[in-house]
Amino acid sequence: MFTDPVKNLKAFDLRENMIVADLGAGSGFYAIPVAKMVPLGKVYAIEIQKDFLTAIKNKALEAHIGNIEYLLGDVEKIGGTKIKDKIVDAVIASNIFFQVGDKDKFIEEAKRILKPEGKLLLIDWSDSSSGIGSSFDKIIPKNIAREMFEKKGFIWQRDIDAGAHHYGIIFKI
């Protein structure tokens, strides 16, 4: 496994009643373990591909998880997540930043949905290994990603060890 979602989430200090948004939830790699960590809270799984949302729903049903809301949305547009302003305690952006075309809009959308004092966990590729993950030309170096988020008002809190091929950064608003 290239990165361990449970280990990364433990470093993110989630509480059981938090509202969390997983931007670009994919197949539920983070949404499912997050939902278990916030049993009294809620997880928004936002994905632009309907098939991925169906996959997450099936995994959640199988695991008897009922605190995930599935949203077909575009994380590169302001309002595209379909989440109201300032209602989310934490945002997870894992293995998506390198794929996003409009990185500024992505960051602005994450900031829009976060409550004051909200936090964001950014996990992304630090290299490309045997063709798995991002290609070298799409990798956003950690220092550049940090700079882009800080330029939009995020405050660096700390880096986390996200595995051999990823970096992890925790930001606050």
DSSP 136: G
Domains and CATH numbers, the chain: 5-172 (3.40.50.150)
Residue 8's identity, in one-letter code, is N
Report the DSSP beta bridge partners of residue 168: 123, 160
Q: What is the pTM of this model?
A: 0.92
Q: Do 36 and 59 contact (CB within 8 A), yes or no?
A: no
The pLDDT assigned to 143 comes to 95
Dihedral sign from CA coordinates of 77, 120, 36, 115: negative
Helix H or strand E encompassing 121: strand 114-125
Using CA atoms, how far apart are residues 84 and 37, in angstroms rounded to an integer?
Answer: 23
Report the DSSP beta bridge partners of residue 156: 171
Using CA atoms, how far apart are residues 78 and 88, in angstroms rounded to an integer?
Answer: 15
In angstroms, what CA-CA distances link 29 with 38, 64, 104, 115?
A: 15, 16, 24, 24
89: which residues sit within 8 A by CB, 6+ positions away?
15, 18, 19, 20, 41, 114, 115, 118, 119
Using CA atoms, how far apart are residues 99 and 26, in angstroms rounded to an integer?
Answer: 12
Using CA atoms, how far apart are residues 83 and 109, in angstroms rounded to an integer?
Answer: 10
Output the tens digit of pLDDT for each of the chain's 173 residues.
Answer: 478 899 999 999 999 999 999 999 999 999 999 999 999 999 999 999 999 999 999 999 999 999 999 999 999 999 999 999 999 999 999 999 999 999 999 999 999 999 999 999 999 998 655 455 444 457 899 999 999 999 999 999 999 999 888 999 999 99
